[in-house]
Amino acid sequence: MESLEFPISAGQLGLRLGAEVVGDSALELSRLSSIESAEGGTLTYVSDKRFLPRLGDLSGVALLTTADMVRSELPLTFLVVADPKKTFSGIAQSFQRRPREEGISPQAFVHPQALLGASVGIGANSFIGRGARIGRGTSIGPNCYVGEGVTLGEDCLLYPRVTLLEGVTIGSRALIFPGVVVGSDGFGFIPGKDGENPTEVPQVGTVVIEDDVRIGANSTIDRATLGETRIGRGTKIDNLVHVGHNVTVGPRSFLCAQVGIAGSVEIGPDCMLGGQAGISDHVRLGKGVKVGAAAAVFSSFGDDETLFMNPALPARKAMGAIKYLRRLPEIWERLKALEERLGRQS
């Protein structure tokens, strides 16, 4: 959709969207809101019937919605679309402001042997090392560090203060938030004997991040000891996530905030890891596995499993354990009562 600007009338918006308008076409819309905080002049959406009672509290609001949720008796304007959330997201994109760099800042350092595609932007105080290759249309914010031999695809957006260390490869359309570090050393040591310090296992592998990956603020992705750490295409990583050496994740997986993935883990396609979930080293998770928030996974699981708890169990078992955990004192008392009765009996 072409970029949109407020104010716009509900009728004009309906035309732009090809949406049927039920209610006041002249209603002027001046901002987006969620259904919870909708008020006169806002555009919002409803895609879940549990929000229908909320509609009675509103007036002068335009709602993107499916045909079955139209309530023409209410003082509201309905814009009927097939997928309200998706349409709303498309509109919201017009209002998203992202800091893109235009041209190469004279305060940036770009090594003469770096290769830059067309329309690359590089912010002040950023460093682009020898042999780095930056694809066309990629924007690198201020205070970034792109190490020697790094490859960055096309149309990436690096926010300020991103660090990509030597030799890592990032696909196209990457979205990388501030403070991210890609390519730090994996954590591997040979313990010392008799009070000697441990010695490092050199980490000489790399990181490969496929297309359309998003990495949240202050997350870290370690390089492999040998070979590569790989983030599959379309995988979305939230803030403060740790991905250890030699891990494979994705494609199309979600790692919520503060997830930690230890070394050599393999996570299949279409997985979803809740916030603060942890995966122990060498664990394998199949396709479509869901791991609950704050769960800790110490063994491998196959496709489509749902896991909860620390240590993690399949959902049904976990739910059973959780249900009776809080009744443990009662179990104890009832067990003692039985023993006493039996003591009396025998």
**Nearer Cβ to a second copy, position 198 or 302?**
198
Choose, by CB under 8 A, the member of 17, 214, 230, 247 that binds a second copy.
214
Calpha distance 92→187 (Å, rounded): 41
Please report whether residue 66 would count as binding a second copy according to CB under 8 A.
Answer: no
Among 18, 40, 67, 85, binds a second copy (CB under 8 A): 85
Q: Is 234 in the site for a second copy (CB under 8 A)?
A: yes
Question: For residue 249, what are its two tokens?
Answer: 């994740």
d(CA 284, CA 298): 10
Please tell me whether residue 315 binds a second copy under the rule CB under 8 A.
no
127 touching a second copy, by CB under 8 A: yes
Q: For residues 2-31, which are near a second copy according to CB under 8 A?
A: none
- Measured distance CA(115)–CA(188) in Å, rounded: 33
Q: Identify whether the C-beta of residue 101 lies closer than 8 Å to the C-beta of residue 140.
A: yes
Classify 250 in phi/psi space as left (phi over 0), alpha (psi -120 to 50) or beta.
Answer: left
Contacts within 8 Å (CB) and 24+ apart, 244-251: 244/186, 244/187, 244/281, 245/185, 245/186, 245/187, 245/188, 245/203, 245/205, 246/186, 246/205, 250/210, 250/213, 251/210
Nearer to a second copy, 26 or 92 (CB): 92
Which residue is associated with the tokens 């916030």? Answer: 275
> What is the rounded (10 degree) CA torsion for 243, 245, 248, 249?
0
* 155 touching a second copy, by CB under 8 A: no
Antiparallel, parallel or unpaired: β 306-308 and 189-190: unpaired
Q: Which of 111, 242, 245, 282 is catalytic?
A: 245
Contact between 184 and a second copy per CB under 8 A: yes
Assess contact for 120 and 104: CB atoms under 8 A: yes
What x/- string results for residues 245 through 284 when contact with a second copy is judged by CB under 8 A?
-x----xx-x-xxx-x-x-----------xxx-x-x----
Interacting span for a second copy (CB under 8 A) from 7-15, 16-24, 65-73, 88-96: 88-96
CA distance 140 to 175: 10
Site string for a second copy, 131-150 (x = CB under 8 A): ----------xxx-x-xx--
In the annotation, is 245 catalytic?
Answer: yes
Number of residues lying near a second copy (CB under 8 A): 118
If the CB atoms of residues 26 and 200 are measured against a second copy, the closer one turns out to be 200
Task: Rule CB under 8 A: say whether 222 interacts with a second copy.
Answer: yes
Q: Which is nearer to a second copy, 26 or 31 (CB)?
A: 31
Closest approach of a second copy to the CB of residue 201, in Å:
5
- Among residues 65, 151, 225, 248, which is the contact residue for a second copy, using CB under 8 A? 225
Nearest CA to 299 out of 284, 310, 309, 287 is that of 284
Q: So which residues are the catalytic ones? A: 245
